[in-house]
Amino acid sequence: MRILLRGVPPVLRDVLNEAAARQPTIELVDGGNVSPDAHETAEAEIVIAITADPHEPSAARDLMCASHATRVAMLTPAGRELVIWDFASHPISAVDLPTSELLDVVCRGVRPA
């Protein structure tokens, strides 16, 4: 499963890399620090993006379309609030989720391509 990281700070990226190393089916791809509304991005099943407002559906939709992802996880810069968007259901919101559990929650129910 390919996960694109957009604007993820180095400390959080390190935690995600450690979690991904324990799950051989996960490949993390650095999407850089470009804005969530960028029109060109690498393809991935999931995008994890940092944004000031994770409840903004248009930013999530734009990322899904640009990356062909089935799910976008929008995370606030402080990492306190997470909103998971996909095409099939209403957004799922979580607050104060332990960083060590972030990949498990984001990947739950997504099948690798």
Domain ranges of the chain: 2-107
- Over range 30-56, report the average pLDDT: 77
Contact assessment for residue 72 and residue 60, using Cβ atoms and an 8 Å cutoff:
yes
Within 10 Å of residue 101's Cβ, how many Cβ atoms? 11
According to the model, what pLDDT value does residue 112 have? 62
**CATH class of the domain comprising 2-107:** alpha beta
Whole-angstrom CA distances from 45 to 3, 14, 77, 80, 107 are 6, 20, 22, 23, 9
Res 36: pLDDT: 47
What digits encode the pLDDT tens for the residues 45-104?
999 999 999 999 999 999 888 888 999 999 999 888 999 999 877 899 999 888 878 888
Give strand pairing partners of 68: none
> What gap in Å lies between CA 14 and CA 26, rounded to an integer?
14
pTM score, whole prediction = 0.86
- Rounded CA separation 21/87 (Å): 28
Question: Cα 107 vs. chain centroid, distance in angstroms?
Answer: 9
